[in-house]
A and B are shown apart, each in its own frame.
Chain A
Amino acid sequence: MLSPERLALPDYEYLAQRHVLTYMEDAVCQLLENKEDISQYGIARFFTEYFNSVCQGTHILFREFSFIQATPHNRASFLRAFWRCFRTVGKNGDLLTMREYHCLLQLLCPDFPLELTQKAARIVLMDDAMDCLMSFSDFLFAFQIQFYYSEFLESVAAIYQDLLSGKNPNTVIVPTSSSGQHRQRPTSGEASMLEGVEAPLFYQCLENLCDRHKYSCPPPALVKEVLSNVQRLTFYGFLVALSKHHINQALGALPDKGDLMHDPALDEELERL
């Protein structure tokens, strides 16, 4: 219990890291909203149920987007819920458009923003022909990274743009009069000839990113694996590779691709209906 690392952090920070406060605040808020009903069967029972549902991952059902996005655990639970509810759609083999997937997401979270779904779709479709149909598994895995690592991906996008335009964020720029002239962007012709950026350079930047920032990011080992296979890659190429890699185990929310359609427990329920 009293491990040294825990004592090393000041209290508030420790609590924040584990997102304990988020859940506490939400619990009290729910209590306030439904006082009449909850008071019928006891506050202690309410708290029990609440935290049980947090553990099981059902607390995010039909909740507002701000709550779902609040903690990594919420995000993972949401992904899992989405998979479980609509696995049958995937099993049926239907290919749906981005808007339809968005609709399905909205069934679980009424104010889910369209931009996230669009970004996920872009990963699948490699930023091309946004009205194309997508399979359930493709969309699900792309959505997984997009949603779970959204802030990380934004930073990666910024880094990628910088690298594309020739700026190396790692280098320290000393503001002298001459450096202003050195900062020349390569002509667009050059950039277009070579697609994407060099993998090792990219990896360096990402590593720095992961170290520097506290929000969740994929395990560096995984990122290294993905980037070690290729010499150059584009932004979406990177994301696609990431989505298809065994990132599932890192997240723990979804099963691997092979097992995507299997869920014996729910299949049983389905039979009963």
Chain B
Amino acid sequence: MIPGKYRSVSGRAASNVNCGLHLVIQASSLPEKNKVRFKQVEFKLNKETPSFPGRLLQHDLERNYSSRQGDHINLVSSSMPSFPILQRSSEEKILYSDRLTLERQKLTVCPIIDGEEHLRLLNFQHNFITRIQNISNLQRLIFLDLYDNQIEEISGLSTLRSLRVLLLGKNRIKKISNLENLKSLDVLDLHGNQITKIENVNHLCDLRVLNLARNLLSHVDNLNGLDSLTELNLRHNQITFVRDVDNLPCLQRLFLSFNNISTFESVCCLADATSLSDITFDGNPIAQESWYKHTVLQNMTQLRQLDTKRVTEEERRMASVVAKKEEEKKRESHKQSLLKEKKRLTINNVARKWDLQQHRITNIATNQDRKDSDSQDHCQNDGSTISAFPEETGSLDSGLTSALQGLSVTDTHLVEVDGDTLSLYGSGALECLDRNWSVQTAGMVTTVSFTFIEFDEIVQVLPKLRIKFPNSLHLKFKETNLVTLQQFNALAQLRRVDQLTVDPQGNPVVNFTLWKYYVLFRLSHFNMQKINGTEVTQNDMIMAERLFGILAHVASSELPQYHLISILGDARKKQFRYLLETKGKKPGIVNEENNDSKRLVGESTNRATLNYTTRDFYNEKLEEIKEKKKFCKIYIEDLVKEATEINMKNEALQKLWPQMFIELVRDAVMEIRNKNSYMKLCLQQITDQK
């Protein structure tokens, strides 16, 4: 048999080599990897370990081409039925005393090697060996090559204390084990096996190269103790995360190509691996990410090569710039999300308050109905409304808890200006209209949205709204307690409204059939375009006029003048005085002059009498009038008393008059009966007067 010489590892095609053994082996061209590997291995060995094995190999390389036919090796079947015994001719033994090549010998078992105790290199490549056996006596062995066999378990190596290179690539090994005694191991090659876990290598403190490519590793850890490791090959596995690499003080090259790494966090220990200068990630999901290159470069400033390409200064600079930008963006979005969260919490708070208020109001109303005190019920109701919310608060709390430290959640209102929309939540928000708004901001606002605010409160600030936000054309109301059609009268105060949105939620008025028509009728001078998102058609306007036109007519023409004026107030007084002076002309009649004056005012006067005063105001007014009413009552009573007295006196006089008249006449006649005495009496009276 011809021993297989070392393949020509210089990259040239292997040639047929003949040496001492008879077997002619066609040393076929080898897979690239192995060649490369070997080259590296040998190179390294030559460089760093100028010890015996290295020189041995180099020596053999030089002798590669000066081989000649050698002796024969006889494989003699031994007494033990399964193990063949290997014998070499003595010439061979002398020539190649320290190395033995048995590649491609179709061996299924390791033969017993007799009398070769000096062997340093043993090559069993390309056979069918299933178990490592019968080599325990070769205690000087330094180089053992079992590449491309069928070995399922690492075993039988416990006596090979001098072993430096162990090549077990392309076998069926499932577990790294039984390497305890191989403390001098320098190169361990386990590529192309079925290993799932890195273990039992922690004692290999001289190991410099570890190849675990093409295995079934899913993660990398348990690497402590490999204090000499400079190269770690983990290509073609299923690795998702990497740990412990920062515990390898000498690691320079790490190959992670074609694995399953998708985030930098899963390999974050690499940032601390200061010795690392060469790393590959190609074929991982992480390499497809847009942020891949600069994230790696930013975090691993010690790198010289990435994916077999040199890292330039330019790239490094770019990486840091991009990283900074990312940081900025993240900070910004974090701020934004905090703001949004705060807004959401505030709105929720306002909503909760609003609901409690509403429930409380209805509760009081029902309390008044019932005679017995219902304080218990009140509390229960409150409890029920509060309990409706814990899910919400729960979910809120579980959210950005840490981020929200320091944010106040007790805000009772929220004011938000978002481009062209001013949003107000909660009645406290109405105070914002008192603030000084910049002309630009205020001018841009075209939509004003009210939520969780009582409509009666909104009515009071409408004049302010008209002044401060002159361009507001669209009003939105949600949860504002719009219950009667009257309330829409209040909107007439504004300058102009193009669109009106009344959300059914919290606004019962929307349930009425006629509400839209009433709005169109009362606010006809606005020429509204849309109500609740639907366009206003000519038909709608006609219908509105048809339904409520008479109301307007009655409200203006049939009211007595004084009443009209008292309702309309100062602004209209002038106009109505004018109308009064043009006698006989009712405001309802269309007239040239009337039309002009109508247009000037901007609102058809016959609707102006339809006002809305909030309930509170109205009650206040009625209270104020009570005094006057009392006075009037008393006054009229006095008048009546007087009148009845006068009437009584009159009647009494009527009754008594005939009698009185007769007496008067009788007295007069009796006085004049005696002419003389009467004359004397008169003269007497005259002198008395003087």
- A100 interface residue, CB < 8 Å from B? yes
- B609 interface residue, CB < 8 Å from A? yes
Contact B554–A107 (Cβ < 8 Å): no
- A190 interface residue, CB < 8 Å from B? no
Which residues of chain A in 87-106 are interfacial with respect to chain B, using CB atoms and an 8 Å cutoff? 87-89, 92, 94-97, 99-100, 103-104, 106
Contact A49–B561 (Cβ < 8 Å): yes
Chain A residues with Cβ under 8 A from B508's Cβ? 99
Contact B635–A28 (Cβ < 8 Å): yes
Chain A residues with Cβ under 8 A from B635's Cβ? 28
A48→B644 CA distance, assembly (Å): 23
- A111 interface residue, CB < 8 Å from B? yes
Classify chain A's interface size. 35 or more
Identify the interface centre among B551, B625, B631, B644: most chain A CB within 10 Å of its CB. B551
Q: Which single residue of chain B is at the shortest CB-CB distance from A21?
A: B636
Chain A residues with Cβ under 8 A from B553's Cβ? 266, 269-270, 273
Chain B residues with Cβ under 8 A from A107's Cβ? 485-486, 551, 610
- A191 interface residue, CB < 8 Å from B? no
A106→B512 CA distance, assembly (Å): 14
Q: Mark A1-37, 1 if CB is under 8 A from B, else 0.
A: 0000000000110010000010011101110111001
A12→B648 CA distance, assembly (Å): 12
Contact A89–B545 (Cβ < 8 Å): no
* Cross-chain contact of B550 among A11, A46, A270 (Cβ < 8 A): A270
- B613 interface residue, CB < 8 Å from A? yes
Q: Which single residue of chain B is at the shortest CB-CB distance from A271?
A: B549
A28→B543 CA distance, assembly (Å): 41
Chain A residues with Cβ under 8 A from B686's Cβ? none
Chain B residues with Cβ under 8 A from A95's Cβ? 513
Chain A residues with Cβ under 8 A from B632's Cβ? 25-26, 28-29, 32
* Cross-chain contact of A29 among B512, B549, B550, B629 (Cβ < 8 A): B629
Contact A103–B554 (Cβ < 8 Å): no
Identify the interface centre among B511, B552, B610, B633: most chain A CB within 10 Å of its CB. B633
A104→B486 CA distance, assembly (Å): 8
Contact B559–A58 (Cβ < 8 Å): yes
- B657 interface residue, CB < 8 Å from A? no
Contact B562–A58 (Cβ < 8 Å): no
Contact B554–A85 (Cβ < 8 Å): yes
Q: Which single residue of chain A is at the shortest CB-CB distance from B635?
A: A28
Chain B min CB distance to A266 (Å): 5
Contact A33–B514 (Cβ < 8 Å): no
* Cross-chain contact of A273 among B513, B549, B567, B643 (Cβ < 8 A): B549
Q: Which single residue of chain B is at the shortest CB-CB distance from A111?
A: B618
- A53 interface residue, CB < 8 Å from B? yes
A21→B636 CA distance, assembly (Å): 7
A21→B550 CA distance, assembly (Å): 32
- A143 interface residue, CB < 8 Å from B? no
Q: Mark B570-588, 1 if CB is under 8 A from A, else 0.
A: 0001000100100000001
Contact A269–B588 (Cβ < 8 Å): yes
Contact B636–A28 (Cβ < 8 Å): yes
A33→B629 CA distance, assembly (Å): 10
Chain B residues with Cβ under 8 A from A103's Cβ? 484-486, 509, 512
Contact A33–B560 (Cβ < 8 Å): no
A29→B631 CA distance, assembly (Å): 8
Identify the interface centre among B552, B561, B573: most chain A CB within 10 Å of its CB. B561
Contact B486–A110 (Cβ < 8 Å): yes
Chain A residues with Cβ under 8 A from B615's Cβ? 111
- A187 interface residue, CB < 8 Å from B? no
- A50 interface residue, CB < 8 Å from B? yes
Q: Which single residue of chain B is at the shortest CB-CB distance from A58?
A: B558
Contact B610–A24 (Cβ < 8 Å): no
A33-B610 contact, Cβ under 8 Å, with A11-B647, A21-B636, A270-B549? no
Chain A residues with Cβ under 8 A from B548's Cβ? 88
Q: Which single residue of chain B is at the shortest CB-CB distance from A32?
A: B628
A29-B562 contact, Cβ under 8 Å, with A88-B548, A100-B512, A107-B610? no
A49-B562 contact, Cβ under 8 Å, with A37-B573, A94-B513, A103-B512? yes
A62-B563 contact, Cβ under 8 Å, with A89-B514, A96-B514, A107-B486? yes
Chain A min CB distance to B293 (Å): 69
Chain B residues with Cβ under 8 A from A99's Cβ? 508, 511-512
Chain B residues with Cβ under 8 A from A33's Cβ? 566, 625, 628
Chain A residues with Cβ under 8 A from B484's Cβ? 103, 106
Contact A104–B485 (Cβ < 8 Å): yes
* Cross-chain contact of A85 among B513, B543, B551 (Cβ < 8 A): B551
Contact B613–A110 (Cβ < 8 Å): yes
Chain A min CB distance to B663 (Å): 26
A270-B546 contact, Cβ under 8 Å, with A11-B647, A103-B486? yes
A273→B590 CA distance, assembly (Å): 9
Chain B min CB distance to A83 (Å): 10
Which residues of chain B in 506-563 are interfacial with respect to chain A, using CB atoms and an 8 Å cutoff? 508-509, 511-514, 543, 545-555, 558-563
Contact B555–A34 (Cβ < 8 Å): no
Contact B560–A50 (Cβ < 8 Å): yes
A182→B546 CA distance, assembly (Å): 63
A84-B636 contact, Cβ under 8 Å, with A58-B559, A94-B513? no
Chain B residues with Cβ under 8 A from A94's Cβ? 513-514
Chain B min CB distance to A62 (Å): 7
Contact B618–A110 (Cβ < 8 Å): yes
Chain B min CB distance to A90 (Å): 10
A87-B558 contact, Cβ under 8 Å, with A32-B628, A96-B512? no
Chain A min CB distance to B573 (Å): 7
- A61 interface residue, CB < 8 Å from B? yes
A37→B560 CA distance, assembly (Å): 13
Contact B550–A266 (Cβ < 8 Å): yes
A29-B560 contact, Cβ under 8 Å, with A103-B486, A273-B549? no
Q: Which single residue of chain B is at the shortest CB-CB distance from A96?
A: B513
- B565 interface residue, CB < 8 Å from A? yes
Which residues of chain B in 602-651 are interfacial with respect to chain A, using CB atoms and an 8 Å cutoff? 609-610, 613, 615, 618, 622, 625, 628-629, 631-633, 635-636, 639-640, 643-644, 647-648
> 5 interchain pairs (CB within 8 A)?
A86-B551, A87-B550, A88-B547, A99-B512, A106-B484
8 further interface pairs, Cβ-Cβ under 8 Å (given A12-B640, A34-B566): A29-B629, A33-B625, A53-B563, A88-B548, A96-B513, A107-B485, A110-B618, A111-B622
Chain B residues with a Cβ under 8 A of chain A: 484-486, 508-509, 511-514, 543, 545-555, 558-563, 565-567, 573, 577, 580, 588, 590, 609-610, 613, 615, 618, 622, 625, 628-629, 631-633, 635-636, 639-640, 643-644, 647-648
Chain A residues with a Cβ under 8 A of chain B: 11-12, 15, 21, 24-26, 28-30, 32-34, 37-38, 40-41, 46, 49-50, 52-53, 56, 58-59, 61-62, 64, 81, 84-89, 92, 94-97, 99-100, 103-104, 106-107, 110-111, 266, 269-270, 272-273
